[in-house]
A and B are shown apart, each in its own frame.
Chain A
């Protein structure tokens, strides 16, 4: 086992670097803050000849994903990335990419959805598309962006999967931060990821096939369920790829990352970059003797049902922190998922919904401590309290 060298890098560029090392064939992308640095760096790689790829300067995100869909269908390894409005504009194509079983990899620099125009981070963009049939992985820092992006190609292209993968990370709070990264050289990457994609299904005159035909009510159900099965069973491959990655490079990943949960009464659950701040809050509260822990949800789709049940049945209360609203009174989207998963668990904890960090608002250590206190209170009383708590709002 050999470890790569340590550099410091802007998180956006960690994504670009991984894409270069993955030796993609086609990049089709459209600029939008806070994703832009990723694709600018990719354009430089292609212009310099450091990456032998076609860079398609599309005229919209809708076309970006459309071009990726076309390129992937003929067997190319492809990458795009977007954020916020761009992801919303892609919405229709997201379903086609997964439904047509195309192993596209996309970086999502999570950004708030308009209105009002706000370029900063939250997860309302991806959450509005969470049912699009993609594998969705949330990264916290440069290292995770780099590793998950590389892994994404291997997962997506696996014959047992053939699904697109979104690697999500918070806009600005993550994308624009310079962090240390243990990088890999090309030779190391090549040991992990095949140099080229091997497409078993592709559009070719050598074996003409018809893709995207009209489906009647007689087959649409089966096709949708086929996709659902593929997404659910991709989890085994994801775990396998993570294991292989850790064997090679000694960095271990799990669908849920738990921190000081073993003996905790309550836990905070979050996905993405604010897990770092939450960890600090947990440490502080622990110093005060408060039994709180943290659960970081890494693999969002397919949802790690069993792992979530196992971990959450150990605590008496869990506070789910969402950076998005599930409109209509149901709290945050991840909160809804967690409650769903826990319903049939015998020793289920109280579940609290907190919505914070919208439109780039910082979630401070203090905020997390407040959330932690509320979770501990609920653990004590065994009740969840109101469905949704907007802890940062000036009413």
Chain B
């Protein structure tokens, strides 16, 4: 995003945003006080954490495993509650 403040002249017409999905540049991880840790060996890849995450923060990585993107995860805890395998745990931000 533009670092310098927008002016009348360089603002797009009517403030239309021409970059679809630009919110991806915004870090919502800062909303979090706890973070989810997904234990791959307990995961059956049912996909429910991915389905329920309000922030689209769960994704399937290159190895086909579910993973949490901490740039976006707000730490709501839904994935922890809804994982039938108890494969996700909430830990304090500092811990790991």
Contacts and interface: CB of A to CB of B under 8 A. Distances in A.
In their complex, do chains A and B touch, with some C-beta pair under 8 Å? yes
Given A101-B13, A162-B13, A201-B13, A226 B18 contact: no
B17 interface: yes
A229 interface: yes
A86 B15 CA distance: 28
Contacts of B14: 99-101, 201, 211, 223, 226
Interface stretch (B1-9, B32-40, B62-70, B81-89): B1-9
B8 A225 contact: yes
A162 B13 CA distance: 10
B14 to A, nearest CB: 5
A212 B14 CA distance: 8
B20 A208 contact: yes
Contacts of A229: 8
A213 interface: yes
B18 to A, nearest CB: 5
A219 interface: yes
A100 B20 CA distance: 18
B16 A223 contact: no
Tier of interface size on chain A:
20 to 34
A158 B89 CA distance: 59
A187 interface: no
Nearest to A162: B13
B11 interface: yes
Contacts of B5: 218
B24 to A, nearest CB: 13
A210 B20 CA distance: 7
Nearest to A210: B17
A215 interface: yes
* Minimum-distance CB pairs A-B, first 3: A210-B17, A208-B20, A101-B14
Given A211-B16, A226-B11, 19 more contacts: A99-B14, A101-B13, A201-B13, A207-B18, A209-B16, A209-B17, A212-B15, A213-B15, A213-B17, A215-B15, A218-B5, A219-B6, A219-B11, A219-B15, A222-B6, A223-B11, A223-B14, A226-B13, A229-B8
